[in-house]
Structure 1
């Protein structure tokens, strides 16, 4: 296969290139010994200067244990390496960000956190990838609390940001108020839960969560603590326990699928409110075929695939996000910041239509829009603190 030949030819898709040529003894003295002794002594006395004088100030760690690789499941740390290597390539090519892929064994949460924490001094940010729920929630939460550099889980924050951006414009297309939407989120793993939390923070309160056993309700021991906490925050009626998607789809304005193929039917779409919004984001096969959804009356359709209009893909976020985080010196990726990015992406589409609610992956200016939105917001927050 061509793909195997390509990756074998280069032993992967990444290399390290030097910024300083070493062609004589003088160059050697500047790049290595004895010159680095000056740097080492300075940084030993002032550790924070490492970010100014070494690549740690511009290097992102892309970390995975391969326990939840999109479309492939738990394929292990080695199996997850091609994914994070590919993302490291995208960081460099799209945003000029240096990222290095690292695989960590599927060890207990505290051991995973300790491993990353012990390595963190070499990096300016941590990008977590393809880590299964619920451990991914705890890992990110603990790392964000213990590290003073940005910690970002692409399956959570990246997905949530792009979904919110697309939903903002889908609401405009259908003539509905974003905050008034009735929304069902089908699939409440890492992506689904993070999306629900961000939609809630953005003002969408009429949310229903559906997972493998049905509607997620408070105090249902089959679900993890993070899912139950969100169900409680939403005030989900305990009587809906065991209710299936088809039981609660009536009266919904939007379906957001981050689950499995073919779980939404034509009959389901027809039960939804007028001008239903369908985000069937499962890969490689969506929750409903877009053509079937359209036949059933869907007004706006998005998928996770490049084969159809409105591709909701994390690549719209992560390269520009880290460029902005590093440029602005932002150390935490909070909900308000995510909304800033979502609004910036949505506003790139000046006149949303059913066929265009989100920028394309290769649309000009995506990385710049995301990064500049963070820099502008950081400046705004600083000015507010000075007042």
Structure 2
């Protein structure tokens, strides 16, 4: 698909049939006057009174315990930079969608129009009573560090800047498993990091907590190696400063064991990878263009263990493996924060899950014969149904053991059953089937494409990449409906009754007769049948 087509597909997806990606759905009956009197005045006064008596009752009578805020000021949106709060909204809505489909957490996205740290913090604190957890998103460094630190100190609900900690947790899980495969110890490996933003700082900090030594780490930013004589850096970067002479990235990678890229694309080549130690671990996670192209990296040497941020290569470091489930576990025990113990528990749970036998439905979904722990599978796949029953319990237990849980879980078997029931098997099955279909899309004939519902189904098939539609019906009607739906991608349209299709229809009729002549179908009958769309479509 061309870049122009991808752009059009993305815009249509967000605009049609309803703008945006999330909406509010009632959870209570509202069909009668009695229902409305309970939902609002006068019935609503009763839970208000109970909450006024004891604030903790807000979790009993409202959605607070299952409601996350995704909050941004739009200063560091994906790879787009500072594009403003309004332009960040599609990303925040998307994050809300992921919270819902992976962990059944409801979400409000909130875009705050300020770059002032104090004003941003004040805004978030003022609205915090609404929510059970706060996911900070796409806030530029160094402001992101202070914002998260202060909100964690001043609020009594989980707060996490996912750009930092989500990437850190997933990449740390991948690193633990990669080191095991490479038969190396984390305290011995030389690590080179390209990037010194919030994600890189958080990743490096977690690597250190796992046992990496600061004296074995070299961190680079746009101005080169971070050294102690630099005067243009904040305290977060300076904690990884080295007392070394200036070297460039190429020289730093000589005899290195691990490369972590969270910077820009195409800054590493095959020769640089060949200069690394045996079984080099390369996490090239710049998106959409990694620091080194996957194929180039894999061709550079046979012993490489590689991960990227892309879904079209093995070992995708995808934050969706972490944040929905971390918040799920934290909020299910009403944790007052997400602390280091909880992040470490999530890291180890993800790493361990990759070593477990992979369910066949995951193999089918990703078109694999047999996924198993190895160089091309060091972290679980995002659609692995075991994530929901593995990570939240690990996080919840860590919250309880570290003393930040306010509602401890007593029956773990029941809790895991509740987690599985949140992700209805029908939803999981549909997602797995869709993923499988995208691997090898087929041609699909829609015999009644001049019906708007049928045409909409064809549009979804095409936009989701699960098939190639062929539309049957009156061409003028189909084109009119396509314009109404914003269905502007090229599609084959065939009107079986048009004169232009006579030769095709005659050919199909003859083939149909040859297939069915011993079943009592005459050539005349075949021609008559092929005037019907369903016969024509099947042929």
| Pair in the same fold by TM > 0.5 | yes
Pairwise mapping of residues 212-291 of structure 1 onto structure 2 (< 5 A)? 212-231=222-241, 236-237=242-243, 239-240=244-245, 242-291=246-295
| Displacement of 1:37 | 1.3
- Per the alignment, residue 14 of structure 1 pairs with 22
1:309-366: CA deviation from partner (whole Å, max 9, x where unpaired): 0000101101111110111222222222211111110111116311111111112212
TM-score, structure 2 normalization: 0.68
Pairwise mapping of residues 359-378 of structure 1 onto structure 2 (< 5 A)? 359-378=380-399
Equivalent of 1:164, from 154, 168, 172? 172
Aligned residues: 377
1:154-193: CA deviation from partner (whole Å, max 9, x where unpaired): 1000000001000011111111123322111110101000
For 2:80 and 2:294, locate their aligned partners in 1 and report how far apart those are by CA, in whole Å. Answer: 23
- Report if aligned partners of 2:168, 2:199 keep a CA contact under 8 Å in 1: yes
For 1:117 and 1:380, locate their aligned partners in 2 and report how far apart those are by CA, in whole Å. Answer: 27
Equivalent of 2:217, from 202, 207, 215? 207
Residue range with higher mean Cα deviation, 96-105 or 262-271: 262-271
Equivalent of 2:348, from 343, 350, 360? 343
1:310 lines up with 2:315 in the alignment: yes
- Per the alignment, residue 81 of structure 1 pairs with 89
Unaligned runs of 5+ in 1: none
- Report if aligned partners of 1:76, 1:106 keep a CA contact under 8 Å in 2: no
1:186 lines up with 2:194 in the alignment: yes
| Displacement of 1:102 | 0.6
Unaligned runs of 5+ in 2: 1-7, 356-371, 405-539
- Per the alignment, residue 375 of structure 2 pairs with 354
Equivalent of 1:114, from 95, 117, 122? 122
| Displacement of 1:273 | 1.1
- Per the alignment, residue 326 of structure 2 pairs with 321
TM-score, structure 1 normalization: 0.94
Equivalent position SS for 1:180 = coil
Q: Structure 1 75/55 Cα, relative in aligned 2: closer, same or farther at 3 Å?
A: same
- Per the alignment, residue 184 of structure 2 pairs with 176
For 2:114 and 2:247, locate their aligned partners in 1 and report how far apart those are by CA, in whole Å. Answer: 34
For 1:337 and 1:230, locate their aligned partners in 2 and report how far apart those are by CA, in whole Å. Answer: 24
- Per the alignment, residue 10 of structure 2 pairs with 3
What is the root-mean-square deviation in Å for CA atoms of aligned residues?
1.6
User: Which portions of structure 1, spanning 4 or more consecutive aligned residues, are displaced by more than 3 angstroms?
Assistant: 378-383
Equivalent position SS for 2:187 = helix
Larger RCO: Structure 1 or Structure 2 (Cα < 8 Å, ≥ 6 residues apart)?
1
Highest Rg: 1 or 2? 2
Q: Structure 1 6/296 Cα, relative in aligned 2: closer, same or farther at 3 Å?
A: closer
